[in-house]
């Protein structure tokens, strides 16, 4: 199967969680907007194509199927890419964990855009500082401690006892948080040995290492979800 991934150019964003799964599995895919430009996404969102209508990218085209929402896409890709266990209980658990990751990603985004996405960061800087402080002090510890417990219950190496798309997403989550909040993560990671070890293991998987070293892996930047504004990090 050849896949078509639709996500905005210039940023990793939510599309990166899907991209990592495709890259790790060595799947055949086109990153459509990087080839055709963002207009290819806009045409889909405007209803120019038949079938399911996505609300926003990322969405994946697989044959005649159009699948949107990161957790939904990964739930679909998991079995054919060999990135989810065979048992129904573990597949449901993997989906549950991915939905929880999506919850945290939304909170990270809202730390720098707490009022409205259509306003510039500079228009909500004061509110962002309050929201980011709550994220660093309360929400990040709660979520990351949960995922640390998940790894411990999974045998210490994997979220669902074998390599899955959840491990890849936890890698991306940790990498993004370390970019956005380096001082806070240096503090928090002292209590997260399993998550830190998972991040290192995923980074050296052969296809992931090759991807990270390629031009296909865009750098984190201040237009994406994980943004580094020093004033939103732990005080020096």
CA 83 to chain centre: 15
Dihedral sign of CA atoms 54, 44, 104, 197 in order? positive
Q: Where are the domains of the chain?
A: 2-81, 88-205
What is the third-level CATH fold of 2-81? Glutaredoxin (3.40.30)
**With 90 as the cut, is the pLDDT of residue 51 above it?**
no
Radius of gyration of the chain (CA): 18
| Architecture label for domain 88-205 | Up-down Bundle (1.20)
Read off the pLDDT of each residue in 80-93 and give the average, rounded to a whole number: 96
The pLDDT value given to residue 82:
97
CA proximity to 38, closest of 13, 17, 63, 18: 13
Q: Per-residue pLDDT tens for 152-192?
A: 999 999 999 999 999 999 999 999 999 999 999 999 999 99
- Under the banding of pLDDT at 50, 70 and 90, the label for residue 78 is very high
Mean pLDDT of 29-34: 96
Confidence of residue 236 (pLDDT cuts 50, 70, 90): confident
């Amino acid at each position: 199967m050849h896949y078509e991934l639709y996500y905005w150019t210039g940023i990793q964003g939510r599309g990166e969680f899907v991209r990592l799964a495709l890259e790790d599995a060595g799947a055949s895919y086109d990153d459509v907007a990087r080839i055709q430009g963002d207009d290819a996404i806009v045409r889909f969102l405007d209803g120019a194509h038949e079938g399911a209508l996505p609300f926003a990218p990322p969405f994946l085209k697989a044959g005649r199927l159009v699948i949107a929402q990161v957790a939904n896409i990964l739930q679909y890709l998991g079995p054919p890419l060999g990135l989810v266990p065979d048992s129904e209980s573990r597949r449901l658990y993997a989906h549950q964990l991915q939905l929880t990751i999506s919850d945290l990603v939304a909170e990270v985004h809202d730390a720098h855009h707490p009022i409205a996405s259509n306003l510039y960061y500079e228009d909500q800087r004061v509110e962002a500082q309050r929201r980011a402080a709550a994220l660093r002090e309360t929400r990040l510890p709660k979520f990351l401690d949960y995922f640390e417990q998940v790894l411990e219950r999974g045998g210490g190496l994997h979220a669902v006892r074998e390599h899955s798309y959840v491990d890849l997403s936890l890698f991306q989550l940790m990498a993004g948080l370390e970019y956005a909040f380096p001082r806070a993560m240096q503090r928090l990671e002292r209590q997260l040995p399993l998550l830190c070890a998972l991040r290192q293991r995923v980074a050296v998987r052969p296809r992931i290492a090759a991807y990270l070293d390629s031009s296909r892996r865009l750098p984190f930047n201040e237009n994406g979800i994980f943004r580094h504004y020093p004033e939103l990090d732990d005080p020096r």
